[in-house]
Structure 1
Amino acid sequence: MENNENEVACHSNDDTSCRKSHHPERVKKDLTNRLNRIEGQIRGIKGMIDKDTYCDDVITQLSATQSALNSVAKILLEGHLKGCVVDRLSEGDEAVLDELVVTIQKLMKK
Protein backbone atom coordinates (compact mmCIF):
# COMPACT_ATOMS: atom_id res chain seq x y z
CA MET A 1 0.00 0.00 0.00
CA GLU A 2 1.58 3.28 -1.06
CA ASN A 3 1.50 6.09 1.48
CA ASN A 4 0.23 8.74 -0.96
CA GLU A 5 -2.38 6.42 -2.45
CA ASN A 6 -4.40 6.10 0.74
CA GLU A 7 -3.62 9.45 2.31
CA VAL A 8 -6.53 10.88 4.24
CA ALA A 9 -6.44 14.36 5.72
CA CYS A 10 -8.86 15.02 8.56
CA HIS A 11 -10.16 18.28 9.88
CA SER A 12 -10.73 18.62 13.59
CA ASN A 13 -12.83 21.15 15.48
CA ASP A 14 -13.30 21.63 19.18
CA ASP A 15 -16.75 20.03 18.80
CA THR A 16 -16.02 16.37 18.03
CA SER A 17 -19.44 15.91 16.43
CA CYS A 18 -18.37 18.35 13.70
CA ARG A 19 -15.10 16.60 12.84
CA LYS A 20 -14.96 15.28 9.32
CA SER A 21 -12.53 13.37 7.16
CA HIS A 22 -11.60 14.79 3.82
CA HIS A 23 -10.66 11.85 1.64
CA PRO A 24 -8.94 12.48 -1.68
CA GLU A 25 -11.24 11.54 -4.56
CA ARG A 26 -9.12 8.49 -5.48
CA VAL A 27 -9.45 7.13 -1.93
CA LYS A 28 -13.20 7.77 -1.83
CA LYS A 29 -13.59 6.03 -5.18
CA ASP A 30 -11.52 3.04 -3.99
CA LEU A 31 -13.47 2.77 -0.72
CA THR A 32 -16.80 3.14 -2.51
CA ASN A 33 -15.86 0.42 -5.02
CA ARG A 34 -14.80 -1.91 -2.23
CA LEU A 35 -18.00 -1.27 -0.28
CA ASN A 36 -20.12 -1.81 -3.40
CA ARG A 37 -18.44 -5.21 -3.88
CA ILE A 38 -19.05 -6.05 -0.22
CA GLU A 39 -22.68 -5.05 -0.61
CA GLY A 40 -22.91 -7.46 -3.55
CA GLN A 41 -21.28 -10.19 -1.48
CA ILE A 42 -23.86 -9.67 1.27
CA ARG A 43 -26.72 -9.90 -1.24
CA GLY A 44 -25.14 -13.10 -2.57
CA ILE A 45 -24.94 -14.57 0.93
CA LYS A 46 -28.60 -13.74 1.54
CA GLY A 47 -29.42 -15.53 -1.71
CA MET A 48 -27.39 -18.54 -0.60
CA ILE A 49 -29.37 -18.72 2.64
CA ASP A 50 -32.66 -18.44 0.71
CA LYS A 51 -31.54 -21.33 -1.53
CA ASP A 52 -30.49 -23.48 1.44
CA THR A 53 -26.88 -23.54 0.27
CA TYR A 54 -24.58 -25.86 2.20
CA CYS A 55 -23.50 -24.15 5.45
CA ASP A 56 -19.77 -24.49 4.81
CA ASP A 57 -20.12 -22.64 1.50
CA VAL A 58 -22.01 -19.81 3.19
CA ILE A 59 -19.38 -19.60 5.93
CA THR A 60 -16.65 -19.39 3.28
CA GLN A 61 -18.44 -16.43 1.69
CA LEU A 62 -18.93 -14.79 5.10
CA SER A 63 -15.20 -15.13 5.74
CA ALA A 64 -14.37 -13.52 2.39
CA THR A 65 -16.76 -10.66 3.14
CA GLN A 66 -15.26 -10.10 6.58
CA SER A 67 -11.80 -10.01 5.02
CA ALA A 68 -13.00 -7.39 2.54
CA LEU A 69 -14.44 -5.29 5.38
CA ASN A 70 -11.16 -5.59 7.26
CA SER A 71 -9.35 -4.24 4.18
CA VAL A 72 -11.60 -1.18 4.18
CA ALA A 73 -10.93 -0.69 7.90
CA LYS A 74 -7.16 -0.93 7.34
CA ILE A 75 -7.25 1.75 4.65
CA LEU A 76 -9.30 4.04 6.89
CA LEU A 77 -7.10 3.38 9.91
CA GLU A 78 -3.94 4.15 7.95
CA GLY A 79 -5.41 7.43 6.72
CA HIS A 80 -6.62 8.26 10.21
CA LEU A 81 -3.17 7.69 11.68
CA LYS A 82 -1.31 9.62 8.98
CA GLY A 83 -3.84 12.44 8.81
CA CYS A 84 -6.13 12.97 11.78
CA VAL A 85 -3.88 11.66 14.53
CA VAL A 86 -0.73 13.39 13.29
CA ASP A 87 -2.60 16.68 12.80
CA ARG A 88 -4.24 16.60 16.21
CA LEU A 89 -0.98 15.65 17.95
CA SER A 90 0.81 18.53 16.21
CA GLU A 91 -1.93 20.81 17.60
CA GLY A 92 -1.16 19.46 21.09
CA ASP A 93 -4.36 17.41 21.32
CA GLU A 94 -3.16 14.26 23.06
CA ALA A 95 -6.75 13.07 23.67
CA VAL A 96 -6.58 11.67 20.14
CA LEU A 97 -4.38 8.88 21.52
CA ASP A 98 -7.11 7.70 23.91
CA GLU A 99 -9.58 7.85 21.03
CA LEU A 100 -7.19 5.81 18.88
CA VAL A 101 -6.83 3.14 21.57
CA VAL A 102 -10.63 2.76 21.72
CA THR A 103 -10.82 2.57 17.93
CA ILE A 104 -8.16 -0.15 17.75
CA GLN A 105 -9.91 -2.08 20.53
CA LYS A 106 -13.13 -1.97 18.49
CA LEU A 107 -11.31 -3.31 15.44
CA MET A 108 -9.68 -6.11 17.44
CA LYS A 109 -13.04 -7.40 18.73
CA LYS A 110 -13.71 -8.86 15.29
Structure 2
Amino acid sequence: MLKHDQPCPSAPADPRNQERPLITAHDRDRKRALALRLKRVEGQLRGFQKLIEAGGDCEKVAQQLAAARKALDKTFFTRVGGVLAQGNVPPDDVADLLTRFS
Protein backbone atom coordinates (compact mmCIF):
# COMPACT_ATOMS: atom_id res chain seq x y z
CA MET A 1 0.00 0.00 0.00
CA LEU A 2 1.28 3.51 -0.82
CA LYS A 3 2.03 5.72 2.14
CA HIS A 4 0.93 9.37 2.11
CA ASP A 5 4.54 10.56 2.35
CA GLN A 6 5.75 8.22 -0.39
CA PRO A 7 6.83 10.06 -3.56
CA CYS A 8 5.14 9.33 -6.87
CA PRO A 9 6.87 6.54 -8.75
CA SER A 10 9.34 7.83 -11.32
CA ALA A 11 10.55 6.62 -14.69
CA PRO A 12 12.38 3.29 -14.86
CA ALA A 13 15.90 3.53 -13.47
CA ASP A 14 19.02 3.62 -15.64
CA PRO A 15 20.51 0.12 -15.46
CA ARG A 16 24.00 1.62 -14.98
CA ASN A 17 22.94 3.65 -11.97
CA GLN A 18 19.80 2.58 -10.14
CA GLU A 19 19.52 5.90 -8.28
CA ARG A 20 19.34 8.07 -11.40
CA PRO A 21 16.04 7.94 -13.36
CA LEU A 22 16.17 7.41 -17.11
CA ILE A 23 14.79 10.53 -18.78
CA THR A 24 13.58 10.08 -22.33
CA ALA A 25 12.51 12.61 -24.94
CA HIS A 26 8.95 11.43 -24.32
CA ASP A 27 9.32 12.25 -20.61
CA ARG A 28 10.66 15.72 -21.42
CA ASP A 29 7.74 16.33 -23.80
CA ARG A 30 5.25 15.23 -21.14
CA LYS A 31 6.87 17.50 -18.54
CA ARG A 32 6.83 20.41 -20.98
CA ALA A 33 3.15 19.78 -21.78
CA LEU A 34 2.34 19.58 -18.07
CA ALA A 35 4.17 22.86 -17.38
CA LEU A 36 2.34 24.60 -20.23
CA ARG A 37 -1.00 23.29 -19.02
CA LEU A 38 -0.29 24.58 -15.50
CA LYS A 39 0.70 27.99 -16.89
CA ARG A 40 -2.63 28.05 -18.72
CA VAL A 41 -4.44 27.29 -15.46
CA GLU A 42 -2.45 30.03 -13.75
CA GLY A 43 -3.54 32.50 -16.43
CA GLN A 44 -7.16 31.46 -16.04
CA LEU A 45 -6.96 31.95 -12.28
CA ARG A 46 -5.42 35.40 -12.74
CA GLY A 47 -8.28 36.26 -15.09
CA PHE A 48 -10.70 35.01 -12.46
CA GLN A 49 -9.05 37.22 -9.82
CA LYS A 50 -9.23 40.28 -12.09
CA LEU A 51 -12.91 39.68 -12.76
CA ILE A 52 -13.61 39.41 -9.03
CA GLU A 53 -11.60 42.55 -8.22
CA ALA A 54 -13.35 44.49 -11.00
CA GLY A 55 -16.78 43.33 -9.85
CA GLY A 56 -17.24 41.31 -13.01
CA ASP A 57 -20.46 39.73 -14.16
CA CYS A 58 -21.29 36.60 -12.13
CA GLU A 59 -21.70 34.48 -15.27
CA LYS A 60 -18.28 35.50 -16.60
CA VAL A 61 -16.71 34.78 -13.21
CA ALA A 62 -18.35 31.35 -13.13
CA GLN A 63 -17.19 30.60 -16.69
CA GLN A 64 -13.60 31.53 -15.86
CA LEU A 65 -13.63 29.43 -12.70
CA ALA A 66 -15.17 26.45 -14.50
CA ALA A 67 -12.52 26.66 -17.23
CA ALA A 68 -9.72 26.73 -14.66
CA ARG A 69 -11.22 23.81 -12.77
CA LYS A 70 -11.61 21.75 -15.94
CA ALA A 71 -8.02 22.47 -17.01
CA LEU A 72 -6.70 21.53 -13.57
CA ASP A 73 -8.75 18.31 -13.54
CA LYS A 74 -7.40 17.38 -16.98
CA THR A 75 -3.86 18.03 -15.76
CA PHE A 76 -4.44 15.88 -12.69
CA PHE A 77 -5.90 12.94 -14.59
CA THR A 78 -3.17 13.14 -17.23
CA ARG A 79 -0.52 12.95 -14.51
CA VAL A 80 -2.21 10.11 -12.62
CA GLY A 81 -2.66 8.26 -15.91
CA GLY A 82 1.06 8.67 -16.60
CA VAL A 83 1.96 7.25 -13.20
CA LEU A 84 -0.31 4.26 -13.74
CA ALA A 85 0.97 3.71 -17.30
CA GLN A 86 4.54 3.42 -16.00
CA GLY A 87 3.46 0.26 -14.21
CA ASN A 88 5.30 1.14 -11.00
CA VAL A 89 2.14 1.06 -8.89
CA PRO A 90 1.19 -2.45 -7.75
CA PRO A 91 -2.31 -3.41 -8.97
CA ASP A 92 -3.59 -3.66 -5.40
CA ASP A 93 -2.58 -0.03 -4.78
CA VAL A 94 -4.26 1.49 -7.86
CA ALA A 95 -7.68 1.78 -6.18
CA ASP A 96 -6.06 3.34 -3.09
CA LEU A 97 -4.18 5.84 -5.26
CA LEU A 98 -7.31 6.85 -7.16
CA THR A 99 -9.39 7.11 -3.99
CA ARG A 100 -6.84 9.28 -2.19
CA PHE A 101 -6.36 11.74 -5.03
CA SER A 102 -9.80 12.02 -6.61
**Fold conserved (TM > 0.5)?**
yes
**Deviation at 1:56?**
1.3
Question: For this pair of structures, how many residues does the alignment match?
Answer: 84
Task: Give the structure with the larger helix fraction.
Answer: 1
Partner of 2:10, secondary structure, is strand
Q: What is residue 11 of structure 1 aligned with on the other side?
A: none
Letter in 1 for 2:10: S
TM-aligned CA deviation for residue 104 of structure 1: 2.1
4+ residue runs over 4 A deviation: none
Matched AA of 1:101 = A
Identity of aligned residues (%): 26
Q: For structure 2, list consecutive stretches of 5 or more residues without a partner in the other structure.
A: 12-22
Give matches, 1:86-97, under 5 Å.
86-89=87-90, 97=92
Change (3 A) 1:71 1:45: same
**Normalised by the size of structure 1, how large is the TM-score?**
0.64
1:54-77 Cα deviation digits (max 9, x unpaired)? 111101111111110111012112
After superposition, the CA RMSD in angstroms is: 2.2
